[in-house]
């Protein structure tokens, strides 16, 4: 008979009630098979097979489903509050994770992120869909450092692995209802049950809506931040035989959420005062206020179909991951973020993805453990930016401004093996060969309506990995590793040029120590990264035009640690901290933003112009020097259920989002030089796919 578990959670802004009818098994069975004597074992799949975390020579933050539920993590980006050295930033609605200073601010056709996101083994490439919420989420693993051998392209910073519940014949149900300020309502439900013998099904749904928290000082509206999001996910699993199973999944997401679009003008002393040359009555500067000529929009509609086939071949386990994604987005933004009716940008983005991976993994036990695989990936991106001024009868009135498209493909083969030299010494070696193609690339010059095709881009990469691990005791291990990663090359069709941008390369060296027994878990790592050919988006030339190019090399090193302690059966303490020193060694054409006071700038509301400048030894963007968190969790039985009380405190030092003329080489900006200016928005979004003619007079 299933157990009944209920929880009530509160926060500073609302009340949440959850009810669960489920047997509590999770990954305990895997832990038991891995180590019969370790009831609190942490099991991870960082090497594409289930292993004890202390035996995996990779820096990992592992977060269980219970920890997620009681840490206040409502969506993926919230895990940064409990993960040292991880940030989630965004360029408009393009969500971009950064780990240990390795991330990107580039958004363009065929661009890609630097941190791979995998849900149940499936790669999710679209940064417009990178921040999401799943109630059936059971664990999250954040892998630090390049993962180029086992996970491939665009994992120079690391990878985030999410595991959800699988359909089960044992009836299980969960429901969560919450209400918060600004009429924020959230409903979530999950259920799984048997259909016929050896066939089980699950279904989950999520609905969230709210009024938002911003006020438009121009129109007086308090609903510019209103959002309404819902998602439906279902799956059916068939145990075809004792050795073969098939899981089919379908997910639909529908979002209408302008939250990340509602920014305002930056005001500060970093580069000379207010963030615009327009009169103060036309712009807002307070965090909960905006001033726009019309509401900003972000709409997303996505369908995902996945098939997971697993088979026991006797000598090894085979897994096949087949995926199709069809995702459509619409971004509508008042780019000057003022009440002046200057520039309204519409960006329809269509992304279609097909991927196939075959993974062959050795059986546990024996002196040689190995993983081998084949991977195919295709992503077709189409961008069709439009500009225009909204009218009362047609808020989306616009004309075609330009556009771009790419068809990116990757073919890869990899193998990774660990050999036990002695009972205490292990050697791991692996390599991945990848062949990347950016095909059918084209751009549409502003207002021309004519597609210009450019030659396709091809590239080959080998990303090796070598690790030596020593196990002084059953509870601990020490390792030294070298890994290589890369971010695939780009054709700058978004900048109307088709310029070829080389892949980013990163060589990572790491020393680590891990310890885990029944009560205490402790990890410590030191790392050094040699990071080359960074892909950067900027304005350059006369007149200025947008461009993506390889403009920087950097050096990153740091120290990171995390500890968790189980005090008795009811109380758990955890803490983590990371020190990261990230500097651009050379930045040949750094986009230094300089105050513009020319009459032409004032007439168009333009505040800053870009001066490409050669910089050396300056802080990397999105790289806080220190991050840390401390938390505690207490659980006890109550009324036939369980009550959990928890708290978490997170701290990050200041970061730089860009380069300013004043003080940019000596210290980070207090907030960021252009974090809320029109120029920051254009660099992050517009500069990646077309030139902005309003700046030609500057």
pLDDT at 7 over 70: no
Q: DSSP letters along 617-683, please?
A: EEEPTT--SEEEEEEEEEEEEETTEEEEEEEEEEEE-----SEETTTTTTS--SS-TTTTSHHHHHH
Q: Which of 95-104, 334-343, 419-428, 547-556 has the highest mean pLDDT?
A: 419-428
Contact of 20 with 4, CB cutoff 8 Å: yes
Reported as a pLDDT band with limits 50, 70 and 90, residue 266 is: low
Check residue 32 and give its pLDDT. 43
CB neighbours of residue 354 within 10 Å: 14
What is the DSSP code (8-state) at residue 262? -
The whole-angstrom separation of Cα 638 and Cα 379 is: 50
**Rounded percentage of the chain residues whose pLDDT exceeds 90:** 51
Give pLDDT tens digits for 421-464.
999 999 999 999 999 999 999 998 877 778 999 999 999 999 99
pLDDT recorded at residue 498: 84
More confident residue, 589 or 85: 85
Region of poorest pLDDT, from 162-176, 245-259, 393-407, 511-525: 393-407
* Among candidate residues 560, 574, 580, the one with its CA nearest the CA of residue 513: 560
pLDDT digits (tens, 9 = 90+) for 375-400: 999 999 999 887 776 555 554 555 66
Following DSSP, what letter does each residue of 580-616 receive, concatenated?
A: EEEEEEEEEEEEEEEE--SHHHHHHT--EEEEEEEEE
pLDDT in tens, 221-241: 888 889 999 999 999 999 999
User: In whole angstroms, what is the distance from residue 276 CA to residue 158 CA?
Assistant: 38
| Distance in angstroms (rounded) separating the CA atoms of residues 698 and 696 | 5
Lowest mean pLDDT among 77-81, 184-188, 676-680: 676-680
pLDDT at 608 over 80: no
Nearest CA to 574 out of 24, 34, 42, 176 is that of 42
pLDDT at 642 (0 to 100):
77
- The whole-angstrom separation of Cα 539 and Cα 505 is 23
Q: Of the segments 32-41, 165-174, 439-448, 605-614, which one has the largest average pLDDT value?
A: 165-174
Q: Is the pLDDT of residue 8 over 60?
A: no
For residues 35 and 194, which has the higher predicted lDDT (pLDDT)?
194
Report pLDDT for 675. Answer: 28
Q: What is the CA radius of gyration of the chain?
A: 25
Q: What is the pLDDT of residues 485-536, one digit of tens each?
A: 999 999 999 877 888 999 999 999 999 999 999 899 999 999 999 999 999 8
Q: What is the CATH number of the domain that holds 384?
A: 2.40.170.20
If one compares 12 and 204, the residue with the highest pLDDT of the two is 204
Q: Per-residue pLDDT averaged across 243-248, rounded?
A: 97
Contact assessment for residue 44 and residue 62, using Cβ atoms and an 8 Å cutoff: yes
pLDDT band with cut points at 50, 70 and 90 for residue 645:
confident
Query: What's the mean pLDDT in 344-362?
Result: 93
* Per-residue b or e along 15-46, where b marks 16 or more CB atoms closer than 10 Å to that residue's CB: ebebbbebeeebbeebbeebbeebebbbbbbb
Tokens read off for 345:
């940008």
Tens digit of each residue's pLDDT (9 = 90 or more) over 651-689? 999 887 654 432 232 223 222 232 222 333 333 333 333
Higher pLDDT, 108 or 379: 379
How many C-beta neighbours within 10 Å does residue 500 have? 16
d(CA 211, CA 262): 13
pLDDT on residue 445: 83
How is residue 155 annotated by DSSP? -
Q: Residues 357-363: what's their mean pLDDT? A: 97
Euclidean distance between CA atoms 430 and 414, whole angstroms: 7
Confidence of residue 545 (pLDDT cuts 50, 70, 90): low
Q: How confident is the model at residue 546 (pLDDT cuts 50, 70, 90)?
A: confident
For 420, the domain range is 4-695
Please give the Cα distance from 254 to 326 (Å, whole number). 12
- Domains contained in the chain, number: 1
* Average pLDDT for 470-495: 94
Q: Give the mean pLDDT of 318-331.
A: 96
pLDDT confidence of residue 400: 65
> Which pLDDT score, from 0 to 100, does residue 399 have?
63
pLDDT at 603: 65
Among residues 222, 234, 180, 173, which one has the least CA distance to residue 14? 180
Residue 694: the pLDDT is 26
pLDDT for residue 674: 27
């Amino acid at each position: 008979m299933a157990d009944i578990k209920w929880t009530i959670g509160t926060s500073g802004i609302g009340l949440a009630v959850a009810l669960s009818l489920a047997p509590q098994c999770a990954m305990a069975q895997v832990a038991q098979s891995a180590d019969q004597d370790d009831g609190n074992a942490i099991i991870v799949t960082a090497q594409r097979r289930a292993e004890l975390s202390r035996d995996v020579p990779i820096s990992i933050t592992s977060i269980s489903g219970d920890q997620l539920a009681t840490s206040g993590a409502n969506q993926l980006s919230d895990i940064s509050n409990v993960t040292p050295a991880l940030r989630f930033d965004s360029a408009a609605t393009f969500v971009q994770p950064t780990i240990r200073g390795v991330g990107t601010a580039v958004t363009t056709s065929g661009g890609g992120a630097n941190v791979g996101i995998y849900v149940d083994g499936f790669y999710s490439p679209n940064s417009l869909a990178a921040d999401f919420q799943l109630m059936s989420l059971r664990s999250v693993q954040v892998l630090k450092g390049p993962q180029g051998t086992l996970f491939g392209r665009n994992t120079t910073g690391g990878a985030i692995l999410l595991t959800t519940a699988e359909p089960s014949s044992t009836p299980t149900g969960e429901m969560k209802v919450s209400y918060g300020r600004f009429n924020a309502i959230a409903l979530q439900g999950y259920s799984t049950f048997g259909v016929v013998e050896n066939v089980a099904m699950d279904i989950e749904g999520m609905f969230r809506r709210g009024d938002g928290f911003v006020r438009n000082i121009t129109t007086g509206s308090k609903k510019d931040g209103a959002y309404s999001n819902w998602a439906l996910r279902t799956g059916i699993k068939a145990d075809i035989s004792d050795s073969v199973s098939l899981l089919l999944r379908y997910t639909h997401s529908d979002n209408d959420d302008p939250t990340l679009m509602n920014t305002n003008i930056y005001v500060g002393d970093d580069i000379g005062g207010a963030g615009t040359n327009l009169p103060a009555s036309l712009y807002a500067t307070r965090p909960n206020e905006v001033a726009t000529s019309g509401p900003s929009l972000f709409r997303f509609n996505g369908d995902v179909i996945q098939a997971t086939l697993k088979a026991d071949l006797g000598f090894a386990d085979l897994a096949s991951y087949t995926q199709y994604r069809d995702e459509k987005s619409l971004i509508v933004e008042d780019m000057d973020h003022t009440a002046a009716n200057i520039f309204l940008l519409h960006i329809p983005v269509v992304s279609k993805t097909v991927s196939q991976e075959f993974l062959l993994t050795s059986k546990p036990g024996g002196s040689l453990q190995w993983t081998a695989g084949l991977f195919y990936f295709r992503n077709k991106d189409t961008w069709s930016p439009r500009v225009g001024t909204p009218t009362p009868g047609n808020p989306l009135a616009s004309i075609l401004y330009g556009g771009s498209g790419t068809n990116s493909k990757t073919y890869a083969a990899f193998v990774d093996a660990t050999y036990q030299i002695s009972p205490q010494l292990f050697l791991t070696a692996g390599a991945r060969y990848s062949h990347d193609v950016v095909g059918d690339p084209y751009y549409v010059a502003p207002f021309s309506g004519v597609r210009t095709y450019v030659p396709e881009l091809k590239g080959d990469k080998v990303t090796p990995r070598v690790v030596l691990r020593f196990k002084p005791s059953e509870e601990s291990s020490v390792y030294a590793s070298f890994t290589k990663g890369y971010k695939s090359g780009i054709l700058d069709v978004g900048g109307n040029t088709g310029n070829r941008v080389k892949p980013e390369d990163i060589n990572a060296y790491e020393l680590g120590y891990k310890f885990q027994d029944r009560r205490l878990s402790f990890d410590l790592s030191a790392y050094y990264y040699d990071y080359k050919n960074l892909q950067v988006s900027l304005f350059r030339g006369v007149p200025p035009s947008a461009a993506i190019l390889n403009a920087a090399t950097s050096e990153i090193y740091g120290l990171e640690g995390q500890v968790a302690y189980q005090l008795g059966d009811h109380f758990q303490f955890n803490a983590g901290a990371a020190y990261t020193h990230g500097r651009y060694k050379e930045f040949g054409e750094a986009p230094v933003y300089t105050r513009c006071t020319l009459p032409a700038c004032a007439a168009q509301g333009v505040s800053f112009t870009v001066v490409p400048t050669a910089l050396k030894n300056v802080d990397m963007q999105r790289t806080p020097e220190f991050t840390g968190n401390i938390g505690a969790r207490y659980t006890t039985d109550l009324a036939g259920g369980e009550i959990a009380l928890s708290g978490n405190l997170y701290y990050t030092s200041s970061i730089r989002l860009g380069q300013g003329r004043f003080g940019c080489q000596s210290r980070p900006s207090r907030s960021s030089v252009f974090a809320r200016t029109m120029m920051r928005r254009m660099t992050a979004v517009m500069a990646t796919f077309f030139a902005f003619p309003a700046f030609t007079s500057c």
